[in-house]
Amino acid sequence: MIELRPFARLGKSDHGWLKANFHFSFAEYRDPARVHWGALRVWNNDRIAPGTGFPPHPHRDMEIVTYVMKGAITHEDHLGNRGRTEAGQIQVMSAGQGIRHAEYNRESDETELFQIWVLPNREGVPARWETVPFPAEARDGRLVPLASGRGDAGAIPLHADASLRAGTLKAGQTLRQALAGKPAYLVPARGRVEVRGAGAAPVVANARDGVAVVDQEEIELVALEDSEIVLVETDRLN
């Protein structure tokens, strides 16, 4: 199955300083058909006004990945971690035993990001936060693991049966990504791509559309424009 989930039909919320779109049920948006995809629980597209942000709030037992598309986000938590993650980078937070954190847009312009939550494969792990710069050129023409619970070299570790990959394709480029039949969800951060698979009708995804995939040994991505792609692949939930 390959299912297109257009950005225009996603859940949404507008708080003035925060404009958010929800690929899965979150906050006031509820859709019983879209609660999770495998172990992927949340994929929010947040636009945060300059000089604003999320004040301190708690999390526990969740792996939270923030992928910044534009601007930067500044993180602070009760463990003493402080850091700035800018466009093209990710930050990973294991909420584990419990963490209280804040995120602010300290920039002069709007920040846009994906916030992605994955259900952990172990509860009660020590809480932690990490951010690492990844060379953009290393992602040209391929999907590189940036965060993974599968021992992928160079990726920030996750306490989850999942991997998050990102890459860029020039218009006309094609790549194939093995999935071994597992649930995967991809979103073009920018551009336009066609997603093809065996026995499934191809779909065309524009920037910020979601594509849910399952029961495919591999998929083929064809860039119809210069594109930046984020993909999360997880195990099925029991």
* Per-residue model confidence as pLDDT tens digits over 103-113: 999 999 999 99
User: Rounded to two decimals, what is the model's pTM?
Assistant: 0.95
Dmax over Cα atoms in the chain, in whole Å?
A: 50
End-to-end Cα distance, the chain = 19
What residues form DSSP beta bridges with 227? 169
Using alpha carbons, select from 123, 127, 76 the residue that is nearest to residue 98.
Answer: 127
Residue 74, Cβ neighbours under 10 Å: how many? Answer: 17
**What is the rounded distance in angstroms from the CA atom of residue 68 to the CA atom of residue 60?**
22
pLDDT tens-digit series, residues 178-235: 999 999 999 999 999 999 999 999 999 999 999 999 999 999 999 999 999 999 999 9
Place of tokens 């599968």: 150
pLDDT tens-digit series, residues 130-154: 998 877 777 889 999 999 999 898 8
Name the pairing type of β-strands 40-48 and 111-118.
antiparallel
Domains of the chain: 11-134 (2.60.120.10)
What does residue 52 show for φ and ψ, rounded to 5 degrees? -130, 180
Contact between 102 and 77 under an 8 Å Cβ cutoff? The reply is yes
What residues form DSSP beta bridges with 86? 72
Name the pairing type of β-strands 156-157 and 144-148.
parallel
